[in-house]
Amino acid sequence: MTDEYAVIGNPIEHSKSPQIHAAFARQTGQDIHYGFLLGDLEEFEADVDQFVANGGRGLNVTVPFKERAFRYADTLSGRAREAGAVNTLTFSDGGVHGDNTDGAGLVRDLTCNHRFQIEGARVLLLGAGGAVRGALRPLLDERPAALVIANRTADKALSLAAASAARGAVIGCGLDDLVGREFDLIINGTAAGLAAKVPAIPDECLADGGWTYDMLYASEPTAFVSWGRAHGAVRALDGLGMLVEQAAESFLLWRGVMPETASVIAALRTA
């Protein structure tokens, strides 16, 4: 019997997840169907209940429901607990398990697809919302020389850094505090790009030979990809690879097999 999966969000119609998981299923011979669900802003939990009652096996969860999925789950992975957000729900007789594959997807894209060595690098993470919370632990696990979280509202970055201090060399600050500092990798996890803006960071904070990474993806270069190019980034990457890699991590959780991602990223890039 075909197993049912879907992505739930609001809005959802532009999601590429159904296409990505269909490619994974074809490639690995898994008998699944993956659709999309427009979640009701008031009745998200009822929508998930219904999906489960219809025999659904798993959901990916996207904006704006990741915190609600976190509360919906009966059990949580360590990385979901630290992120305070869930992007992958698995339904089984054992109940509802919540995980978060976003940060692992980011790290896999950087280290496996692009061969960027995070270990020993000075990394700047911009923002302090859900996207950054999800990325923190997987980034710290790679043992960067320093990880600075900088946010428009400095207090939020300070508390995030304080909460992760036991995991590695991490500090939080405001965007103004970046003057005079240099980084080998700058990751944009803010929502500024949704308004075609970039966070107000100093022009000089990208080191010679440095890379930039925007967690956002769009068919045109994002505002932060353009910032990276204009400021001499060796590579100015967008979040397409992260999108496919977080999907692959979810597929692995659900089906026990890791799909090959390069061809899927390439197909989406040319589409």
- Under the binding rule (CB under 6 A), the answer on residue 199 touching ligand ATR is yes
Given 16, 66, 156, 197, the catalytic residue: 66
How near is the Cβ of 244 to ligand ATR at its closest, in Å?
19
Closer CB to ligand ATR, residue 131 or residue 236?
131
Q: Does the active-site annotation cover 66? A: yes
Count of CA atoms in the C-beta half-sphere (13 A) of 214: 26
How near is the Cβ of 209 to ligand ATR at its closest, in Å?
25
Count the residues of the shown chain that bind ligand ATR, applying the rule CB under 6 A.
Answer: 14
The C-alpha atoms of residue 226 and residue 212 are separated, in whole angstroms, by 10
β-pair type (170-174, 95-99): unpaired
How near is the Cβ of 116 to ligand ATR at its closest, in Å?
22
How near is the Cβ of 13 to ligand ATR at its closest, in Å?
19
- Under the binding rule (CB under 6 A), the answer on residue 151 touching ligand ATR is yes
Q: Which of residues 106-135 bind ligand ATR (CB under 6 A)?
A: 127-131
Angle, helices 130-141/154-164, rounded to nearest 10 degrees: 40
Contact 63, 216 (CB under 8 A): no
State both tokens at 178: 């970046």
Among 60, 101, 190, 250, binds ligand ATR (CB under 6 A): 190
Which residues 6+ apart lie within 8 Å of 47 measured at CB? 8, 37, 39, 40
Helix/strand/coil percent split, the chain, to 5: 45, 25, 35
- Under the binding rule (CB under 6 A), the answer on residue 192 touching ligand ATR is yes
Which residues would be at the binding site for ligand ATR (CB under 6 A)? 127-131, 151-153, 156, 190-192, 197, 199
Which residue numbers are catalytic? 66
